[in-house]
């Protein structure tokens, strides 16, 4: 179970690198974000690649939940507890986020672009979006930090702690930047009428 979780994590990590690169390009402006996403979609919107990514996420959830239960049942150390808690938050986030993206594409026929994400921060759901997106993004970095700690704890525990603390710190800053960007605090964001009736996750 754990081995399968790690293998599928490799595919997920590759996609997330591209996905977060798209977010970071958005810091340069909405046009830059759109140009990047159109290029990136040539890769991850290919039917084979898209199905492989979705399958990898499904396997992550399917194998991750039993691992979370095992950690809590056996009452493992605090780092494992943190890893399990962040993993559970990611499961909830992924189910909501991916499910709503699928609905937007297949039911509402909307482009899931910068505007789609930013619409979720429109009043009166602004603070709910902060909580949902913030928890989803930050938990990913916490989870990765715990994994890095676990890798180095036997050979060099101080290095493991350093990786954990730095990764969590970076995660906090990245989360802050993305929330400020999509909520219109870094530059003006106008939500078109087609998106105003939606509150994407």
Query: Mind listing the pLDDT tens digit for each residue in 1-13?
Result: 778 888 888 889 9
The model's confidence at residue 201, banded by pLDDT at 50, 70 and 90, is low
Helix axes 47-74, 2-25, angle to 10 degrees: 120
- Spatial distance between the Cα atoms of 129 and 135, rounded to a whole number of angstroms: 10
The residue segments making up the domain with residue 9 are 2-196
- Spatial distance between the Cα atoms of 119 and 112, rounded to a whole number of angstroms: 10
Work out the average pLDDT over 154-168. Answer: 95
The CB density around residue 163, as the number of other CB atoms within 10 Å, is 21
Residue 199 clears pLDDT 70, i.e. is over it: no
Q: What would the pLDDT profile of 143-154 be if each residue is shown by its tens digit?
A: 999 999 999 998
The model's confidence at residue 198, banded by pLDDT at 50, 70 and 90, is low
Residue 26 lies in a domain: yes
Phi then psi dihedrals of residue 96, to 5 deg: -70, -45
CA separation, residue 91 to residues 68, 78, 96, 178 (Å)? 11, 20, 9, 20
Q: What would the pLDDT profile of 91-108 be if each residue is shown by its tens digit?
A: 999 999 999 899 888 888
- Spatial distance between the Cα atoms of 182 and 132, rounded to a whole number of angstroms: 13
Residue 151 lies in a domain: yes
Residue 201 lies in a domain: no
Q: What share of the chain is helix, strand, coil (3-state, %, to 5)?
A: 80, 0, 20
Count of domains forming the chain: 1
């Amino acid at each position: 179970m754990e081995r399968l979780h790690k293998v599928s994590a490799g595919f997920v990590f590759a996609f997330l690198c591209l996905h977060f690169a798209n977010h970071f390009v958005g810091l340069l402006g909405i046009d830059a974000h759109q140009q990047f996403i159109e290029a990136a979609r040539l890769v991850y919107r290919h039917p084979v690649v898209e199905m492989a990514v979705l399958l990898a996420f499904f396997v992550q959830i399917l194998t991750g939940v039993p691992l979370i239960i095992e950690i809590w049942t056996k009452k493992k150390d605090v780092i494992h507890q943190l890893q399990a808690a962040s993993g559970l938050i990611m499961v909830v986030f992924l189910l909501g986020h991916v499910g709503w993206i699928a609905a937007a594409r297949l039911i509402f026929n909307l482009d899931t672009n910068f505007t789609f994400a930013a619409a979720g921060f429109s009043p009166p759901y602004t603070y709910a979006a902060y909580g949902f997106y913030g928890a989803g993004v930050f938990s990913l970095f916490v989870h990765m930090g715990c994994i890095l700690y676990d890798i180095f704890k036997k050979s060099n525990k101080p290095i493991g702690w350093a990786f954990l603390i730095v990764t969590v710190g970076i995660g906090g800053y990245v989360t802050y930047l993305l929330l400020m960007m999509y909520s219109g605090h870094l530059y003006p964001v106008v939500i078109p009428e087609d998106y105003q009736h939606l509150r994407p996750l």
